[in-house]
Amino acid sequence: MPDATASVPLSAQLIHLAAAVMLLLSFAMLAQRRLVSLVNLFAAQGATLVGSTLVVAYSTGQHELYLSAAVTSIKVVLLPYVLHRLIRRLSLQWDTETLVNIPTTMLIGLGVVIFAFGLAQPLSELASTVTRSTLGIAMAVVLLSFLMMITRRKAISQVIGFLAMENGLFFAATSATYGMPMVVELGILLDVLVGAFIFGIFFFHIREQFESLELSHLESLKED
């Protein structure tokens, strides 16, 4: 029991490392107050995803995964660029906004991770790949992004939560099952891109109407 890691091939070790970094970045996003840093963390998460996809592609010799990595790198470059522009245009740089205070959020996040790991344990037994145990981490990333969407008040950080969730899904697909069919992947990516742009337009409309991006303003149906 003491040392099983050394027998695992290097590629699997690298994927495990990427998994751990993704989990770490999810927590960092959960704890981050500033929107600009939040976007940067999101970009870093995307970059980790690209890295792990490349490792999977190289180690399994599946060439379509290189394409998948290239497609994913759109999320590292284009989406953060769009989000940064949005933040600048809406001048939201210094926003601090959480519903629950941050230490509590992180403790809830820990609970979520334990839940996800417990959930994934029996599932990953079914897979046959070396890196199947990363499924738990991918699930944890998805659930943590959910948690971020719940605990944030501003629309833009909820959207980042949504995009991060998609990162988690992609990671689950590449590391646990060595990639989805390309059509599915492209479809999801297109959805996400279109979604991000539509959200961007929404932000402007929300702000025009309510002079703020706080979604709690949307809850009352008519103005008092």
Q: Interface residues with other proteins (CB under 8 A)?
A: 1-6, 8, 13-14, 16-17, 19-21, 23-24, 27, 31, 102-103, 106-107, 109-110, 113-114, 117, 120-121, 133-134, 136-137
Give the SS3 label for residue 71. Answer: helix
Q: Smaller CB distance to other proteins: residue 137 or 159?
A: 137
Q: Radius of gyration of the chain from Cα atoms? A: 18
In a 10 Å sphere around its CB, with 0-12 CB exposed, 13-18 middle and 19+ buried, how is residue 100 labelled?
Answer: middle
Write out the DSSP string of 120-160. HHHHHHH--STTTTHHHHHHHHHHHHHHHHHHB-BHHHHHH
Q: Smaller CB distance to other proteins: residue 134 or 167?
A: 134
To the nearest whole angstrom, how small is the minimum distance from the Cβ of residue 17 to other proteins?
5
To the nearest whole angstrom, how small is the minimum distance from the Cβ of residue 142 to other proteins?
15
Q: Smaller CB distance to other proteins: residue 116 or 163?
A: 116
Is residue 124 within 8 Å of residue 16, measured between CB atoms? no
Helix (H), strand (E) at residue 18: helix 10-31
To the nearest whole angstrom, how small is the minimum distance from the Cβ of residue 123 to other proteins?
12
Amino acid letter, residue 82:
V
Give the SS3 label for residue 98. Answer: strand
To the nearest whole angstrom, how small is the minimum distance from the Cβ of residue 126 to other proteins?
16
Q: Smaller CB distance to other proteins: residue 144 or 159?
A: 144
Share of the chain residues as helix, strand and coil, in percent rounded to the nearest 5: 80, 0, 20
Q: Smaller CB distance to other proteins: residue 61 or 103?
A: 103
To the nearest whole angstrom, how small is the minimum distance from the Cβ of residue 129 to other proteins?
13
> Residues, the chain, total?
224
To the nearest whole angstrom, how small is the minimum distance from the Cβ of residue 89 to other proteins?
29
Q: Smaller CB distance to other proteins: residue 8 or 182?
A: 8
